[in-house]
Amino acid sequence: MIHPTAIIEPGAQLGADCEIMAHAVVTRHAILGDRVAVYPGAVVGGDPQFLKFDRRTPSFARVGEGTVIRENATINRSIHEGQSTVVGARCFLMAGSHAGHDCVLSDDVVLANNAMLAGHVGVGAFTFVGGGAGIHQFVRIGEGVMIGGLSRITRDLAPFTIVAERDEVSGLNLVGLKRRGFPRETVRELKEAYRSVYLKNGDIRRLSADALASGAFASAEAARFLAFFAEGKRGFARPARRGAAEEGEARSET
């Protein structure tokens, strides 16, 4: 359904059963999957906020099926020819949220009101970004992360963690794990993997690599948690102090 006063530029691609509401803008650079809803004032496929960008560059913003883009949310297109900013399926971008150029959001991601993703941010599936949180460019966010409102994130966030304030890890996202129905053994292994990285002294990359190589972890989730530390260039969010890591680990036991 296309509401009156919605703007859909020639060349935009819309899947079946999309709803574009009044005063929403879907540019010619947008590719929407089935059942995408774009609320009033939202802009999908707008030019990237990049000073050296040539507006003649053919690039795109792709949105997966079932995603909801609420009022005044913005998704900018890529700065690179032939490439796309990507928002996965069943995502929920609340009012005023922003996904910058060349971001890649996996499926089932939620951006709360006024959450801000700079360019080239990667976000894993089932991650929640709290209201007003700001994410620095090129940050990697693992799957199942819970980011507190008004957080300032400048470092990579390991999967299944809770992070708040300025890059402060405060434990595992146990509520998210429970909601997704992970078995107890998987949660137990994630707790042990968390301890092996955050409760020991030493280089975090080496600690995670040693834990992964030990063969002590059978679950794919624990393996993904540990393998996350092998990549990235921005460094990793950690507990603010050793005691905070222990407190987070203790909460993971409850």
CA–CA distance, 125 with 173 (Å, rounded to integer): 13
Question: Is 102 among the residues known to form the active site?
Answer: yes
From 1.20.1180, 3.30.720, 1.10.10, 1.25.10, which CATH number describes the 177-251 domain?
A: 1.20.1180
CA nearest neighbour of 208 among 217, 186, 173: 217
**pLDDT tens-digit profile of 183-204?**
999 999 999 999 999 999 999 9
DSSP alpha helix (H) spans, the chain: 174-179, 184-198, 204-213, 220-227, 242-251
Given a contact cutoff of 8 angstroms between Cβ atoms, the answer to whether 130 and 148 are in contact is yes
Question: Is 23 among the residues known to form the active site?
Answer: no
Provide mean pLDDT across the span 16-30: 98
**pLDDT tens-digit profile of 54-85?**
999 999 999 999 999 999 999 999 999 999 99
Tell me, what amino acid is at 152? Answer: R
- Catalytic hit among 66, 101, 144, 167: 101
Provide mean pLDDT across the span 21-34: 98
**pLDDT tens-digit profile of 96-133?**
999 999 999 999 999 999 999 999 999 999 999 999 99
Helix axes 220-227, 204-213, angle to 10 degrees: 150
Given a contact cutoff of 8 angstroms between Cβ atoms, the answer to whether 165 and 151 are in contact is yes
- Catalytic hit among 96, 100, 119, 171: 119
Question: Is 101 among the residues known to form the active site?
Answer: yes
- Catalytic hit among 64, 102, 124, 167: 102
Evaluate if residue 245 carries a pLDDT over 90. Answer: no
Superfamily of domain 7-154: Hexapeptide repeat proteins (2.160.10.10)
Give the domain ranges of the chain.
7-154, 177-251
Which pLDDT belongs to residue 240? Answer: 87
Instruction: Report pTM.
Output: 0.94
DSSP 3-state assignment of 180? coil
* Radius of gyration of the chain measured on its C-alpha atoms: 19
**Given this chain, do its domains 7-154 and 177-251 carry the same CATH topology?**
no
